[in-house]
Structure 1
Amino acid sequence: MATASAPSSFAHLPSSRHELAQRWELAREPIADASSGPKLRYLVGELSHLAEPVRRPFRRIEVAPAAEIRTVMLLPGFATHPIRMRYMARQLERAGHKVKRWGLGFNFGPTEDNIRYLERRLIEVHERYGREVHLVGWSLGGLFAREIAKRHPDRVAKVVTMGSPFSGNPRANNAWRAYQFVTGHRVDQPPIQTDICDKPPVPTVALWSPRDGIVSARSACGRACERDRAVALRCTHLGFTYSPEAIGAVLRELDAA
């Protein structure tokens, strides 16, 4: 089955001064309630990511052969490219798993077009390898993973989210203003019909961290009715894609039934 061309990642970015002004107003909206993102010290802690290129050559992650080979699709976070998940992909491949990109380039938020494309991408990967796909989504990528799992539960083995804000107030994070500027819609009014809190009808695991400087720990952990399990880690939000702890957690979820 051939996959249709992916919609452009940049198609819904502001294209005129008027639209730019509208996006700016969205980004400047006052907070209507008491919800807020993680504390400033955790946000500052995200700067440790800048030292990652220096540390990485000296790090060795122990990866055991997979108990069973899985087909995995990685979905990147908001405003990031799949290349940001390449290090994790390599570690999963070292274990023997088949790792596939989501095919959409930068993640600049949901649209009907990119959701439909992801559905076709999931169907293509499922049919190519003849087994259900494990979806691993970082931050906003985890919301995409949950959504396509709701639409095609027969093709998804498990959803693993990493620091994804699927629970509680959509503004309980430190990125919602940037999100509204980039996407052109309010964070609590996505241009698709969905309830992000609803659990997909497949095993759903939420990896979260109390040290997350971007997304509220409560939002990423969720309530018991919104996921099957929650696993606490000690990494930063940006560290979900490269920390040995996070990669080890993902490998364990792939090994689990």
Structure 2
Amino acid sequence: MSSIDRSNFYIPTKWQMIAEAYGIIEAGNLLVQIPSLMKAKKGQGERIIVLPGFATDDIFTFPMRKFLENIGYKPEGWGLGSNHGDVPVLLDLMNTKVREIFRETQEKIILIGWSLGGYLARECARDNQDIIEKVITLGSPIIGGPKYTSIADVYSKQHGINIDQLEKEIDERFQTPLEIPVFSIYSKKDNVVSWEACIDHYSPKATNQEIDSTHIGLIFNADAYDLIAKFLHL
């Protein structure tokens, strides 16, 4: 994996997380934009799993899943409770989940993940590229994992992890390239994850798109929903 210079990555501070309260505005705007969003091209019942961010659960992804259902897809939550951040454990559970679903349905699966959920979605796809159709991430620390986030020290202490060593391990996984289409949505107003760390410079079928949103707001952002609907139909 060829490396880019990460020394100048902008990392949000803990104090900036206060600004994440503005995410409620994006939720309100979503309600206003629903009639327009419903004009999106319809899906054909494709199966989608939506993964929540760190310290959140399926409740937070309900609006997105409801939107996807209303435009013709078959979305579901990940069903693993709260995203506690133990990536090896959660990745094993996701790998088992997608394999069981595929075995039962013989239908390829689309993964959408917010924040750490997006990282998990990508790595699950990396391990199961024969049964995953595409992956979409929103404000996900693709590069370096938690190292380039405002909660890096909290995450490190919670899991007893050396985040520099973790970054190296994450880089090593890029040696198995993601050959399927991947779409990364990010925002320079993200107060949790470094926006530079959300951009995929490596995967051959990667698309990156900036929008105007807080980190929390990404899961409720009307522009994000519009972009997701368009990418799903490619």
Normalising TM by the smaller chain, what interval? 0.7 to 0.9
Aligned residue pairs: how many? 223
Contact 2:53 2:114 in 1 (8 A): yes
Change (3 A) 1:170 1:49: closer
Please tell me whether residue 150 in structure 1 is matched to residue 126 in structure 2. Answer: yes
**1:155 offset after TM fit, Å?**
0.7
Q: Counterpart in 2 of 1:59?
A: 32
Summarize deviations over 1:47-93 as a string: whole Å, max 9, x none.
Answer: 1124567x379534122351433211111111111111111110011
Letter paired with 1:110: D
Say which structure is richer in helix: 2
Q: Counterpart in 1 of 2:11?
A: 37
Contact 1:82 1:105 in 2 (8 A): yes
Contact 2:156 2:162 in 1 (8 A): yes
Whole-angstrom distance in 2 between the partners of 1:239 and 1:188: 28
Contact 2:43 2:73 in 1 (8 A): no
Please tell me whether residue 166 in structure 1 is matched to residue 139 in structure 2. Answer: no
The 5 Å alignment of 1:3-152 reads 36-38=10-12, 43-50=17-24, 55=28, 59-61=32-34, 62-63=37-38, 64-152=40-128
Whole-angstrom distance in 1 between the partners of 2:81 and 2:203: 32
**1:225 offset after TM fit, Å?**
4.4
Whole-angstrom distance in 2 between the partners of 1:253 and 1:188: 33
Q: Counterpart in 2 of 1:12?
A: none
Change (3 A) 1:114 1:38: closer
Contact 2:29 2:222 in 1 (8 A): no
Summarize deviations over 1:192-225 as a string: whole Å, max 9, x none.
Answer: x653772422111111111111111110123254
Q: Counterpart in 1 of 2:4?
A: none
Please tell me whether residue 220 in structure 1 is matched to residue 198 in structure 2. Answer: yes
Tell me the TM-score normalized by structure 2: 0.82
Q: Identify unmatched segments of 5+ residues in structure 1.
A: 1-32
Whole-angstrom distance in 1 between the partners of 2:32 and 2:144: 36
Contact 1:68 1:255 in 2 (8 A): no
Percent identical across equivalent pairs?
Answer: 27
Change (3 A) 1:69 1:58: closer
Whole-angstrom distance in 2 between the partners of 1:196 and 1:76: 24
Q: RMSD value over aligned CA atoms?
A: 2.9
Letter paired with 1:74: V
Larger-Rg structure: 1
Whole-angstrom distance in 1 between the partners of 2:12 and 2:90: 29
Please tell me whether residue 252 in structure 1 is matched to residue 225 in structure 2. Answer: no
3-state DSSP of counterpart to 2:44: coil
**1:233 offset after TM fit, Å?**
1.1
Whole-angstrom distance in 2 between the partners of 1:79 and 1:196: 26
Q: Identify unmatched segments of 5+ residues in structure 2.
A: 1-6
Whole-angstrom distance in 2 between the partners of 1:163 and 1:75: 12
3-state DSSP of counterpart to 1:182: helix
**1:114 offset after TM fit, Å?**
2.7
The 5 Å alignment of 1:166-185 reads 166-167=142-143, 170-185=146-161
**1:130 offset after TM fit, Å?**
2.4
Whole-angstrom distance in 2 between the partners of 1:92 and 1:181: 36
